Amino acid sequence: MTETISNTALFDHSHDFYADAYIRHILRTCRTFAMVGASTNWNRPSYFAMQYMLKKGMNVVPVNPGAAGQEILGRMVVASLADIHEPVDVVQIFRRSDQVPSVVEAALNLLPLPKVIWMQLGVVNEEAAHMAEAAGLSVVMNRCPKIEHARLSGELGWNGINTRVITSKKKTL
């Protein structure tokens, strides 16, 4: 049985706010991400996010039917979620909001089920979120795991970005 990440006490179900503890828990416990909409183009956001996540020790499986069989950052691209032959913790979606329900439907056919559906910045689909939550999955919308990881680990502050955290200690996620 897939262990789900309990979010009942950690965030408002309107998806307008996510507690840091909720995001931190996901990023600490989830190691394998299926990146739907991964790009071979080095200047696309999905490429930057994948590069960062790989450097942080996460396993990222790029999913893009148009690039299947190619490599992105040394990882073989698969055409669909069904082509992934290992358990996936997070389905990370770099697609338009109107395309999210079909991605969530495909994710719900994976065995074991993923723990989290994560929609990228600007990607929001309440219908898909409810579908995933009804199946016991946790959901994050309109957030970037790269940015959230950097924010919660203090790395954004290293670049001069005000994270409203003042400390001389290096944070660990």
Each domain of the chain, given as residue ranges in start order, spans 20-145
Across the beta sheet with 138-140, the strand order is 59-63, 32-36, 90-93, 116-119, 138-140
Q: Which of 94, 99, 159, 100 is nearest to 121 (CA)?
A: 94
**Mean of the pLDDT values across residues 54-65?**
98
Question: Can you name the CATH fold of 20-145?
Answer: Rossmann fold (3.40.50)
pLDDT single digits (tens) 81-98: 999 999 999 999 999 999
* Predicted pLDDT at 137: 97
Residue whose entry in the numeric block shows the structure tokens 């698969």: 78
Quick check: 95 and 36 in contact, CB under 8 A?
Answer: yes
* Predicted pLDDT at 171: 61
Task: Please determine, for residue 102, whether its predicted confidence score (pLDDT) is greater than 70.
Answer: yes
Quick check: 91 and 113 in contact, CB under 8 A?
Answer: no
Task: Please determine, for residue 10, whether its predicted confidence score (pLDDT) is greater than 90.
Answer: no
The Cα 137–Cα 108 span in angstroms is 9
pTM of the predicted structure, to 2 decimals? 0.85
* Predicted pLDDT at 149: 93
Quick check: 86 and 63 in contact, CB under 8 A?
Answer: no
The Cα 81–Cα 105 span in angstroms is 10
pLDDT single digits (tens) 134-163: 999 999 999 999 999 998 987 766 555 555
pLDDT single digits (tens) 116-141: 999 999 999 999 999 999 999 999 99
Task: Please determine, for residue 3, whether its predicted confidence score (pLDDT) is greater than 70.
Answer: no
Task: Please determine, for residue 8, whether its predicted confidence score (pLDDT) is greater than 90.
Answer: no
